[in-house]
Structure 1
Amino acid sequence: MWISGTLMAGLLSIMLLLFLKQLWLHKKYPPGLLWLPLIGSTWRLLINFSQDSFMELAEQYGNIYTIWAGNLPVVVLSGFETVKEAIIKHSEYFDERPMNPFFEVIGKRKGIILSNGHNWKQQRKFGMSTMRKLGLGKKGMEPQIEEEAHQLVQTFADMKGQSLDPSLPMTNSVTNVICALTLGQRFSSGDEEYLKFRDALLLLAQFPATISHILYDLFPWLMKHLPGPHKQALAAYDCVISFAMKEVQKHKEHQALHEPQDFIDYYLIQIEKQKKKDPSSTYDEENLVQCILELFSAGTETTATTLNWGLLLMANYPDIQEKVQKEIDDVFGSSQLFSYQDRKKVPYTNAVIHEIQRFKYILLFGLPRQCSKDVKIFGVLIPKGSIVISDIRSVLLDHTKWETPREFNPNHFLDKEGNFVENEAFLPFGAGGRVCLGEQLARTELFIFLTKLLRTFNFQPPEGIKKIREEPVVRMFTPPYPYKICAVPRNNGS
């Protein structure tokens, strides 16, 4: 008994010393939540977590604070000035992407979003130039977007004013825009292979920042052997990759039959160009498949979720919806010929679209980055290797930059004369070297989809419901809870 008691006391002493050593090592990081062995400070995120939790922590610990994911330090940046100082003014120190266990598996350090260094620079440069070739920023992609908007209008019209869940039709339309951009074709809603692919994309998008994801990153060696949502997410990843590889093979078989039409065509040409020219080239089919995955992942759920919030807010704020419709009617009349460039003619409509993105930011936080060297932000040291999260929602709700941050108020983007004005704190697409590659595409989609829908329908809550619930589902993407809406044809609708 005496020996076992001594061993127990010794073991507890060692554990205490290790705990104190860990706490001492943590002193060089910004202040934050109490660290506990194995789980770090993630315990706090499991207790009554909400969209406001990060902002509440900033009130307690300051605009730069640390959350510990096990022994991994995660530094959170809160508020516009802090985020601006770090990822805009010191962007070169925050351009790396951290490799946690789950993203290591699904990213393999390939593609654009989940890669670093030479690979990231080459893939991003190619992605940007190819987007321009395919017409983003011009009118090249607009016919496809208009076609999908027309199909969506028809889907809503077929309901003849009866209530419907808009999320699935919206997702189909947005996914088909990315299909046109990436694969050079659209799919019918009855195509079984496409439906499996779409559903796998949705499942994969819903997994990050869930309890299962946190546990996978904390205990990957254990979770690999256990059943759970992480297994479903990995199976969804395999499904998406398989679909992408089949499309690449189809393009290779028909490569010589036409001029390049889509992202895959241009990438295959780039692979051939660089084979002998550049020994350090990262252009290969593995990177191509990963880029396809990322274009769909980043370009479907994000835009579809914003559109879903847009319709919900229009139904809940009929006075704002009416002002948008009046402006559209006054400026465009019965004309069907308008483009993204015409947003300058409808400042109120443009302001409302921006306010939807600000008021209902569709991510829990900006995608994580990693600090490449020791850097001080406003006198606070962020050590090299720290994972850094920008709390973009805190930027979009920063009371120093927005007059009524917690209210849906299009006047945030209008001057006293009713002209549209930019706001430097409008960062829903991120900022710095990792700013969203598809920003231009998303802006164009939001304008064309919402304008065509609002000129055709009045959006209303179903009978017996005064206001649709506005609280989001809290995960990495923050969509509205499933809801139904009535798209009532307007008398002057097209």
Structure 2
Amino acid sequence: MMETLVFLQTNLLSIVLGLVTCILVWMIRGKQKSFGRFPPGPRPVPLIGNLLQIDLKEPYKSYEEFCKKYGSVCTIWLANKPVVILSGYQTLKDALVTQGEEFSGRAQYPFLMKATNGYGVLVSSGHRWRELRRFSITTLKNFGMGRRSVEERVQEEARSLVKAFDELNGGLFDPRELLCNAVSNVICSTVFGHRFEYKDPEFLLLYNAVTDAFIVLNSRIGQLYNMFPGILDRFPGKHRDMFALLQEAQAYVKKEADIRLKHLDANSIPQDFIEAFVIKMIQEKDVPNSEFHYGNLLGSVWNLFSAGTETTSSTLRQMLLMMIKHPQIQARVQKEIDEVVGQDRSPSMEDRSKMPYTDAVIHEVQRHMDLAPTSLPHKVTADTEFKSYHIPKDTMVLPLLSSVLFDPKLWKNPNNFDPENFLDEEGRFKKNDAFLAFGLGKRICLGEGLARMELFLFTCSLLQRFTFVGTKPPEEIVTNPKNCSFGRLPCVYDCYAKLRV
């Protein structure tokens, strides 16, 4: 009797699994058939799509191989969802600029949707995205910030960072934490109107919420969450702890907004980003379906922190590492700083036009580092015809930025670190349209101006005061960024910051 029961259970399980497999195959084939002229790509398998063909540590490397095989527009399947990959400068330009409106949507990455509850400029599309992006760009551009410009705030933080380095007395240290603190504090100054001391509990709450989110996003659990959010939400783990910490940080931002709401009126001159948003909330309190409410405020503030902290601080870490690796380049940058800025004042953005070599070095660090090989996922906002293919509305699209940043047709010396990629024959800075470190088209990074300012002022301030030296001879220093699921991060290293004589 028992053997019969086991036999029946085994056969029943086999029948159920067989039916499930048949249904999944039918669904995928049905989707593929219904999509008709969808871009080509590797054949998916039921339930998991092309996951077994993708290196989860370096997914963009797999995307590059798919594009080489199937063309500059190809399709992969993540679980049962199709994703269109775009590769090469002309293809990206045709999609993100020429057909920019159709490709301007933001795919609903489950991780980002959970972190923001679907609010904020980063994850939104359509009317909400246009309203919030216009407001954010205008606000950041016009500050001003009441009495103090954004540049003054970055200069203030640069002086604090130099002081923190100075207090190390030339000892061995890992620059990661101090650089992250400084960049995060620039965002704090922009959002809250003032900087924090690095050990302030409120600053640490905001800082830890952002860094933990980035760590989880770049982990395997973060990748799995984006594929199976409903399942992962039911299990404990780092992702649950991170989301809880993020809620604490958002509660602090809401408390700050509440304080301002009690004391502001619609005619106030905003002193920070929160004040500007709250004033807009007051002005539109009677506007039906206004996008200016607490949800979008909290989402937009998180966007500023998440998009602006780890990216800029990681670039600065890579900058110092490249200076250690190439002391002759470091010395040439310092010579230019001495000639243009000197030692008696803080560097300013007016200096940049007179410092072509320093500008070229900063650009080359960004290009060669390839921090974000793919931009955040887009989606098409309508059924779209593109390069003889048909892409259905709401399909996720991944622009492969690294395919442009290392294209030998577009750069003098693409595979090596070489500032000459951004200099002409006379040593003047030369722009290159293929420099897509901030993206391309309507979804280009809205914090690009702030990031460029931070990279220039922090780099000049640090090299004005210090020479950076590694623990090994330059030829033994490894500078290749560490690959992670969402991008490329500098390797961990220790160094010395020696006072310049």
TM-score normalized with structure 2 length: 0.91
Other structure's SS at 2:82 match: strand
Contact 1:315/1:460 (8 A) holds in 2: yes
Alignment of 1:216 with 2:225, yes or no, is yes
Deviations 1:257-281 (A, max 9, x none): 97420011111111111123x3232
Q: State the match for 2:142 in structure 1.
A: 133
Deviation at 1:333, TM superposition (A): 2.6
Q: State the match for 2:494 in structure 1.
A: 484
Q: State the match for 2:275 in structure 1.
A: 265
Contact 1:31/1:66 (8 A) holds in 2: yes
C-alpha change, 1:145 and 1:47, in structure 2 (3 Å) is closer
Deviations 1:44-75 (A, max 9, x none): 22466365333223222222122211111111
Of 46, 51, 68, which aligns to 1:37? 46
Q: State the match for 1:329 in structure 2.
A: 338
Matched ranges for 1:121-270 at <5 A? 121-135=130-144, 140-255=149-264, 259-270=269-280
Q: State the match for 2:32 in structure 1.
A: 26
Give the whole-Å Cα distance in 1 for the aligned partners of 2:268 and 2:39.
56
Matched ranges for 1:277-426 at <5 A? 278-426=287-435
Deviation at 1:244, TM superposition (A): 1.2
Q: State the match for 1:114 in structure 2.
A: 123
Q: State the match for 1:467 in structure 2.
A: 477
Other structure's SS at 1:67 match: strand
C-alpha change, 1:14 and 1:145, in structure 2 (3 Å) is closer
Contact 1:473/1:481 (8 A) holds in 2: no
Give the whole-Å Cα distance in 1 for the aligned partners of 2:344 and 2:180.
27
Q: State the match for 1:94 in structure 2.
A: 103
Give the whole-Å Cα distance in 1 for the aligned partners of 2:479 and 2:47.
38
Give the gaps of 5 or more residues in structure 1: none
C-alpha change, 1:194 and 1:282, in structure 2 (3 Å) is same
1:490 aligned partner, one-letter code: R
Deviations 1:214-266 (A, max 9, x none): 32233223212112232123123212212211221232344369742001111
Q: State the match for 1:457 in structure 2.
A: 466
Other structure's SS at 2:343 match: coil
C-alpha change, 1:236 and 1:61, in structure 2 (3 Å) is farther
Percent identity, please: 36
Give the whole-Å Cα distance in 2 for the aligned partners of 1:437 and 1:359.
22
Give the gaps of 5 or more residues in structure 2: none
TM-score normalized with structure 1 length: 0.92
Deviation at 1:471, TM superposition (A): 3.1
Contact 1:348/1:418 (8 A) holds in 2: yes
C-alpha change, 1:402 and 1:282, in structure 2 (3 Å) is same
Deviations 1:2-59 (A, max 9, x none): 9987995797377347515623632632222331222111222246636533322322
Deviations 1:423-444 (A, max 9, x none): 0011111121111111111111
Give the whole-Å Cα distance in 2 for the aligned partners of 1:302 and 1:10.
47
Give the whole-Å Cα distance in 2 for the aligned partners of 1:144 and 1:366.
28
Deviation at 1:314, TM superposition (A): 0.8
Of 73, 76, 81, which aligns to 1:67? 76
C-alpha change, 1:395 and 1:239, in structure 2 (3 Å) is farther
C-alpha change, 1:384 and 1:286, in structure 2 (3 Å) is closer
2:489 aligned partner, one-letter code: P
Deviations 1:141-198 (A, max 9, x none): 1111111111111111222222211111001111111111110011111212221221
CA RMSD of aligned residues (A): 2.5
Give the whole-Å Cα distance in 2 for the aligned partners of 1:47 and 1:171.
26
Contact 1:363/1:477 (8 A) holds in 2: yes
1:487 aligned partner, one-letter code: A
Give the whole-Å Cα distance in 2 for the aligned partners of 1:300 and 1:479.
13
Contact 1:459/1:488 (8 A) holds in 2: yes
